[in-house]
Amino acid sequence: MDDLRHGKIDEIKVGHDEFMDFQKVWVNYDQRKEIVGTARRNGTVIYHYAENGNV
């Protein structure tokens, strides 16, 4: 998530089988409000960085 926040990567793609593990880390991440997810078909969520949580 630090790489996402610092612009090293554009997105994090999380499949439905990884979601619960990702969620545990995301909940404890200090800047989690800036890591915004968009649900896709088949349970995939694409997370991107949005300063101030703006989508």
Q: Contact, 46 vs 35, CB < 8 A?
A: no
**Long-range contacts made by residues 29-33, C-beta under 8 angstroms, separation at least 24?**
29/1, 31/1, 31/5
pLDDT in single tens digits along all 55 residues of the chain: 999 999 999 999 999 999 999 999 999 999 999 999 999 988 999 999 998 756 5
DSSP state of 55: -
pLDDT of residue 55: 58
pLDDT of residue 48: 95
